[in-house]
Structure 1
Amino acid sequence: MKNLFLGIYLGFLSLGCTSQAQEASPIVGTWQLVSGTTIKDKDTTLTDYTKGQEMIKIITPTHFSFLRHDLNHGKDSTATYSAGGGRVKIEGNQYKEYLDYFNVREWEGGEFEFDFQVKNDTLIIQGIEKVEKLGVNHINIEKYIKVK
């Protein structure tokens, strides 16, 4: 019986150590999207997310979520709203999103791997977004600023 309790204790202890190691990752936090670049074949598109809209991404050691909306409260042709989230796996400078929820339902179930770097209050993630059923296959580079 003592061995059973010792095993359970050690199991919880190891889970706590893993969680603490992930929490130490500099990617954990709340980030505001500043710009995004998509590269498909020879076409490059740059989007400035500071004009007319806002987006934040919240990253924890186990999950992520994002929220984006226009700044005109949906009252003109710039109306936009998107939200999604799911599980994450963070290892070193690798960040993997498992998109469990998204208001564009065809993206749900997607798995997206990114490399990331954090310098001071800036986060840059880069990876391939591929959703075969939608014909999506491009490089995505996003730049964020830490929300204080």
Structure 2
Amino acid sequence: MHIINKLSTAALGLSLTVSACTQQSTTTAATAARTPLEGTWRLVSGTVIEKNDTTVTDYTQGKSFIKVINASHFAFTGHDLHKGKDSTAFFSSGAGTYELHDSAYTEKLAYCSDREWEGNEFHFTVSIVNDTLTQQGVEKVEGTSINRVNIEKYVRIKD
């Protein structure tokens, strides 16, 4: 009986070890499959070029804006830091799916606080250098006067 207990204990230990190794390799494979684009990003600056006007917005002063990207979806939200109680009042949010092929990044916006933007597709070029993501492309919304170049710079928020 004593030998059976030792064999059962050894078998249980071996089973737990195999299970732990299998779980670790699955986790490692899932982590390895992540693209560098996935994560949480803080917008630091935005440049909008519309007709002959260029507007640069510093998102480190008085505003906060983040974008979260997972394997298939993105979401963004931003607001002023004065709780909307003065002339700097600002709120924006949206989400949808995206596709990434090399540096070609296409957002399909399904939800947006500015409802005219919903259902539109936006094509950008993205680059990541160290912890900085640069996204630039044309934002055009049919049926509106929106037709502009948008260049955004984000920094990665560490996990």
Secondary structure at 1:132 match in 2:
coil
* Aligned CA distance change for structure 1 residues 74 and 112 (closer, same or farther; 3 Å): same
- Give the match for residue 122 of structure 2: 112
Say if 1:70 and 1:78, in contact at 8 Å, map to a contact too: yes
- Give the match for residue 32 of structure 1: 42
* Aligned CA distance change for structure 1 residues 129 and 21 (closer, same or farther; 3 Å): farther
Alpha-carbon distance, 1:75 to partner: 2.0
Choose 1 or 2 for highest CA Rg: 2
- For residues 110-143 of structure 1, give each alpha carbon's deviation from its aligned partner in whole angstroms, at most 9, with x where no partner exists: 1001110000000000111000212111111000
Segments of 5+ residues of structure 1 without an aligned counterpart are: 1-19
- Give the match for residue 81 of structure 1: 91
- Give the match for residue 10 of structure 2: none
Alpha-carbon distance, 1:21 to partner: 10
Query: Which of 118, 131, 137 pairs up with 2:141?
Result: 131
**Take 1:75 and 1:41, find their aligned partners in 2: how far apart are those partners?**
32
* Aligned CA distance change for structure 1 residues 35 and 22 (closer, same or farther; 3 Å): farther
Query: Which of 58, 65, 88 pairs up with 2:75?
Result: 65
Say if 1:114 and 1:128, in contact at 8 Å, map to a contact too: yes
Please say if 1:51 is aligned against 2:76: no
**Take 1:51 and 1:128, find their aligned partners in 2: how far apart are those partners?**
25
Secondary structure at 1:27 match in 2:
coil
- Give the match for residue 111 of structure 2: 101
Alpha-carbon distance, 1:42 to partner: 2.3
The amino acid of 1:65's aligned partner reads A
The amino acid of 1:24's aligned partner reads R
Further displaced range: 75-84 or 134-143: 75-84
* Aligned CA distance change for structure 1 residues 127 and 22 (closer, same or farther; 3 Å): farther
TM-score after normalising by structure 1: 0.82
**Take 2:31 and 2:136, find their aligned partners in 1: how far apart are those partners?**
23
Secondary structure at 1:106 match in 2:
helix
The amino acid of 2:69's aligned partner reads I
Aligned length: 129
TM-score after normalising by structure 2: 0.76
- Identity in percent: 50
